[in-house]
Structure 1
Amino acid sequence: MVVVGGGVIGLACADELVMAGHDVTVCDPRPGGGSTYAAAGMLAPGGEAWFGEEALLRLGIDSLARWPAFAASLAERSGHHLDLRSTGTVLVAADRDDLAEVHRACRLLDASGVRVEELDRRALRAAEPMLSGRVVGGALLPDDRHVNPRRVADALLAVLGDRVVRARATPEPDGVVLDDGSRLRAEVVVLATGATGMPHVRPVRGEAVRLRSRPSPARVLRARVHGERVYVVPRAHGELLIGATEEEHPADDGDPLPTLGGVARLLETARALIPGLATAELLEVVARDRPGSPDNGPLLGPVPGTGSARLVLAGGHHRGGVLLAPVTAATVRAHVDGLAVPPAAQAFNPQRFDRPNDTDRHTDRDTDRNEEPCA
């Protein structure tokens, strides 16, 4: 069995299949170096919820519930600390228009059974004293978590060991062919190639800035600041990840690079939200392409092939790759082994886009909802 793609999705699928007794090879020229490297690691289905995407919210809730056991097993087997935190997410609004959007999101979450506590200005600043005195209100999502995706990828690479081949692989009817021309035969090929090489998936570029600040917020902050969106994710040793940019790019546009305008917008919005960041140390600026799909949901399951190898897709996770890794791995294993597919994953069959009247064109909703890089 071959998994093509060594991001958090491909590695989690490979690990699940190995634990189920399968002989697995993972092929990727830079495992862990794609969108996983720039991901914020927000395990926050509530923070990502949007109208019309209730099925995706249910999938995220399912996967969030799997994360504690997934992380505990991975940490024990790898010896790596994943920096998994259960401090929740704070939604922040800087003005009345921003607050109207927060209230709208809260109504959706409440109707979906997600715990949410609306906060007035005083309660919001009590929850996060570093916030600007100009914020007007927000909400707390107490069940959200977050994790360091780079640590997760390192842990998965450690447990998979020499099953990971640092080479590019292209699916063929009976397996895959590597860049050097060698072939690996396989009964099953799992395609988890991120933003390229998968039907119905397009690259959506995001930028992120890594800082060090002491003190730093205790919780993930997802904010609207006069219409601009930003998130701030705390990590170990005073590190913070700041992101929110999103931009469509053609698949052949070359390696993603940060832009002056995108980074400046992130930093200006983050400083307006948390004035104390003016003295933070700048550690890293990165850009990566996340894998977008026509409905923002992943493609999970088999597709028709032309040869002896069964082809199973695990892609199109957009901003939710880290969050959805456990449920994706369970879904892929279910398809491979003929087990029951998790109910929340059944809506994400890859062939849903091949039905009449469906198109690969993304809707205006893609640019209306939270514009955030690889979560």
Structure 2
Amino acid sequence: MTRRPDVAVIGGGVIGLALAWRCAQRGLAVEVHHDELPGTASAVAPGMLAPVSEADFPDPALLEFAHEARRSWPAFAAELAGASGIDVGYATDGLLLVAHAAEDRARLAAMYGFREGFDVPCTPLDADELRAREPLLSAEASGGGFATEDHHVDAQRVREALRAAGQALGVRYVDRRVRSLDEVSAGSVVVAAGAWSPSLDEWPVTPVRGQVVLLRDPSGGPGLRHGIRGVAQGQPVYLAGRDGHETIVAATLDHTGFDVQPSAQATEALLRKAVALVPALAGHEVTETRVGLRPDTPDHLPIMGRVPGRSDAYVCTGHYRHGVLLAPVAADLMTELLVTGADGIPAAFTPQRFRSAKERASR
């Protein structure tokens, strides 16, 4: 007879799997319910651990949370690799911030200027200094900087490693779509279903589509030395080398619901910006296009904590573009809440903020 789990996690992305692993480490019996629907964000995520270059919304609570997560990643990656036997591709060689043309420099400065004051060095670089660090950059690159503490991980390997580490501790994985909290019998239930979380409760989470293109160099030439967060033709683009001769190009931002069909127009736009920054990519082959659905909220902050009005239900969703980065600290805080009742989650992330707004609107 199967033991009734102490915790059931609904969602098998990086956030849900990290939470399940941490709960199992604390001796809890854990189930993860997940249906691998097209668009699962962390199945597509390029793996940026980038509190400097990826924080689009300068909310103090989110920025501090992101930097805490960044500081936790070296130990988290080492522990996860040891527990699973899987190399998660954690790279600490920093990220180049690159403006393609002179008019892109103002956009780059506006995107990253508010990060001053955090313990994350971001060294300004002129065009020659950029190309010294990354010889494949275009001769037209006009300047930028180097973010020492923006790192990178293989998000798909992280998911694989988390599942393996959890399985080694007895986590049970149930491959099914949960459509109601009442379908799950457990001591506590955690909604970590990303963009699909609203199907389980009325959370204001919306999918934001992001497309990623994978390129391969048929000549086997040298790849990128660093990840690149660039602005070309006034628009951001992210590039990272992977497995020697591959390059990830990411990512678009589109509000098109649950459409997960790759778009030729989005692919062309990504490649145009990528080639503007790194001309050698024009000769590479497109090997795959992927679409992920990032779970966004009206204030772009996560929803984490107890579900109002339900003593046995919790929610951990809405991490938008930051799910992989935030996974270690989100899992730790949610596990502590589940195990001891201690709530160290930032007050800005409380689920109650949306329930209170809904109650005010109904009066």
Give me the TM-score of the superposition, normalised by structure 2. Answer: 0.89
Query: What is the alpha-carbon distance in structure 2 between the residues aligned to residue 359 and residue 53 of structure 1?
Result: 24
SS at match of 2:157: helix
List gaps (5 residues or longer) in structure 2: 1-6
Matches within 5 A, 1:243-282: 243-250=250-257, 253=258, 255-282=259-286
| 1:168 to 2:177 alignment | yes
Query: What is the alpha-carbon distance in structure 1 between the residues aligned to residue 328 and residue 102 of structure 2?
Result: 37
Answer yes or no: is the 8 Å Cα contact 1:43–1:146 preserved in 2: yes
**Of the candidates 5, 9, 14, which is equivalent to residue 3 of structure 1?**
9
* 2:238 counterpart residue number: 231
**Of the candidates 209, 222, 231, which is equivalent to residue 229 of structure 2?**
222
* 2:348 counterpart residue number: 347
* 1:363 counterpart residue number: none
Answer yes or no: is the 8 Å Cα contact 1:171–1:189 preserved in 2: no
**Of the candidates 203, 216, 220, which is equivalent to residue 212 of structure 1?**
216
Query: What is the alpha-carbon distance in structure 2 between the residues aligned to residue 132 and residue 140 of structure 1?
Result: 16
Aligned letter for 2:114? L
Answer yes or no: is the 8 Å Cα contact 1:291–1:318 preserved in 2: yes
Encode CA deviations 1:92-120: one digit per residue, 9 max, x unaligned: 10122311122334432223343110001
* 1:195 counterpart residue number: 195
User: What's the offset of the Cα at 1:232?
Assistant: 0.3
* 1:316 counterpart residue number: 318
Query: What is the alpha-carbon distance in structure 1 between the residues aligned to residue 57 and residue 104 of structure 2?
Result: 17
User: What's the offset of the Cα at 1:236?
Assistant: 2.0
Aligned letter for 1:93? A
User: What's the offset of the Cα at 1:260?
Assistant: 1.0
| 1:283 to 2:291 alignment | no
Encode CA deviations 1:120-176: one digit per residue, 9 max, x unaligned: 11111111110100010001100111000110111111122361111112343xxx4
Aligned letter for 1:315? T
| 1:98 to 2:104 alignment | yes
* 1:298 counterpart residue number: 302
List gaps (5 residues or longer) in structure 1: 178-183, 361-375
Aligned letter for 1:353? F
Matches within 5 A, 1:115-194: 115-161=121-167, 163-172=172-181, 176-177=182-183, 184-194=184-194
Answer yes or no: is the 8 Å Cα contact 2:308–2:351 preserved in 1: no
| 1:75 to 2:76 alignment | no
Change (3 A) 1:31 1:159: farther
Aligned letter for 1:196? W
SS at match of 1:47: coil
> Once structures 1 and 2 are overlaid, which stretch shifts more, 13-22 or 32-41?
32-41
Change (3 A) 1:159 1:357: closer
Change (3 A) 1:302 1:358: same
| 1:242 to 2:249 alignment | yes
* 1:371 counterpart residue number: none
Aligned letter for 1:350? P
Query: What is the alpha-carbon distance in structure 2 between the residues aligned to residue 64 and residue 358 of structure 1?
Result: 36
SS at match of 1:160: helix
SS at match of 2:195: coil
Encode CA deviations 1:242-292: one digit per residue, 9 max, x unaligned: 112111123xx4x51111111110011111110001121222101121101
SS at match of 2:300: coil
Aligned letter for 1:197? S
Query: What is the alpha-carbon distance in structure 1 between the residues aligned to residue 161 and residue 179 of structure 2?
Result: 26
Aligned letter for 1:102? L
Matches within 5 A, 1:40-51: 40-50=46-56
Aligned letter for 1:223? G
Change (3 A) 1:338 1:266: same
Aligned letter for 1:323? L
Query: What is the alpha-carbon distance in structure 2 between the residues aligned to residue 154 and residue 18 of structure 1?
Result: 16
Query: What is the alpha-carbon distance in structure 1 between the residues aligned to residue 150 and residue 228 of structure 2?
Result: 11
Encode CA deviations 1:285-344: one digit per residue, 9 max, x unaligned: 0112110111111111111245xx61111110110010010011012112212354446x
Encode CA deviations 1:53-72: one digit per residue, 9 max, x unaligned: 23211111011111111111
Over the matched positions of the two proteins, sequence identity in percent amounts to: 37
User: What's the offset of the Cα at 1:21?
Assistant: 1.1
Change (3 A) 1:100 1:231: same
* 1:60 counterpart residue number: 66
Q: Over aligned residue pairs, what C-alpha RMSD do you find?
A: 2.2
SS at match of 1:217: coil
Give me the TM-score of the superposition, normalised by structure 1. Answer: 0.87
Aligned letter for 2:262? P
SS at match of 1:284: strand
Aligned letter for 2:210? G
Query: What is the alpha-carbon distance in structure 1 between the residues aligned to residue 42 and residue 274 of structure 2?
Result: 22
Answer yes or no: is the 8 Å Cα contact 2:99–2:108 preserved in 1: yes
